Amino acid sequence: MAVPMFVLIVEDEPFIQDLMAEVLIDNGYRIAAASDGIEAMSFLDHEGSRYDVMITDVVLPGLLSGWEVAARARWINPTLPIIHMTGGEPGAWNARGVPGSVMLAKPFTLTQLVQAVVQVTKVLSLSLYC
């Protein structure tokens, strides 16, 4: 039996965070959730290599943006698939998103969320075996 993929969700809106976690758990993923950049960095600093995917809102409360959290996550784990989310203008993703990441524009459907996770993990699997 395969071990479920471990997803780190970084989202400051509790309702959205809970909804994302619920749908991903229902689709067989394990979840850790952070509400801001500092909490996400704590998770990454202690267990960064354990995560299979990170999904982060780009606008977070506090000192660190989702862009900065994603850059730090890639420094810790260079192959970590990352999905950026924004309810604002997704155009900054071209300039600020980490290479190989995906942008998910809010509002998105729960199906789109699951499809984005599948997409980034397939790209990772292909790059590991090529």
- pLDDT, one tens digit per residue, over 70-113 is 999 999 999 999 999 988 766 666 657 788 889 998 899 999 99
Q: List, in order of start, the domains of the chain with CATH numbers.
A: 6-129 (3.40.50.2300)
- C-alpha 51/C-alpha 31 separation (Å) is 9
- pLDDT, one tens digit per residue, over 17-76 is 999 999 999 999 999 999 999 999 999 999 878 999 999 999 999 999 999 999 999 999
- C-alpha 13/C-alpha 61 separation (Å) is 10
pLDDT, residue 126, reads 44
- pLDDT, one tens digit per residue, over 25-42 is 999 999 999 999 999 999
